[in-house]
Amino acid sequence: MRGLQLSLNQTQKLRLERALEKLESLSSKANTNASVTVADTIPVNYEDGVLKGHGTSELEGEVVATLCGLVERVNKLVYVRPLRARYKPEIGDIVVGRVVEVAPKRWRLEINFSQDAVLMLSSMNLPDGIQRRRTAVDELNMRSIFEENNVVCAEVRGVQH
């Protein structure tokens, strides 16, 4: 892909050159990582077995990069770590969020993701620590637990795409 001739304007050429320079500088710091751009082939040893991870795809029997970034290898897993990426929560992650809305039976939290997180009243441990069914009284007292602009630390229990 790097030898490919593209018709780019001056700004696009400059951005491409800077991105390639950044890739080369990052890959020279860690000799085990190789920098790749989109459609570059990633060399793998098929005899050991390979798991294709994020940023990779199989094309005509070869593992090909679908992102610009650094090739990372963890045991049999091969994936591309992008140069820039937004945080994507996964199940089990501990996140810190700010309450943006108190809605019926739930709080909406800003967690610096493309979507807001939802903290359900039913999944909360109430301040008194008693395990019981949530009632209308609990729903009315939600603002006494968290209100707008409060910061909350919580575990991700599920992700909806």
User: Which of the listed CATH numbers 3.80.30.20, 3.30.1300.10, 2.40.50.100, 3.40.50.2300 matches domain 10-82?
Assistant: 2.40.50.100
Which residue in 66, 68, 65, 113 sits closest to 86, CA to CA?
113
- Alpha-carbon gap, residue 148 to 9, rounded angstroms: 47
* Ranges of each domain in the chain: 10-82, 94-155
Whole-angstrom Cα Rg for the chain: 23
Model pLDDT, residue 31: 45
- Alpha-carbon gap, residue 78 to 69, rounded angstroms: 13
- Alpha-carbon gap, residue 134 to 125, rounded angstroms: 10
Write out the chain's pLDDT in tens, 161 residues: 455 566 778 887 888 788 778 777 765 555 445 788 888 888 887 767 888 888 898 888 888 988 888 888 888 888 988 877 677 888 888 889 999 999 999 999 999 888 899 999 888 877 777 777 788 888 888 888 889 999 999 899 988 87
Count, in order, helices (H) and strands (E) of the chain.
3, 11
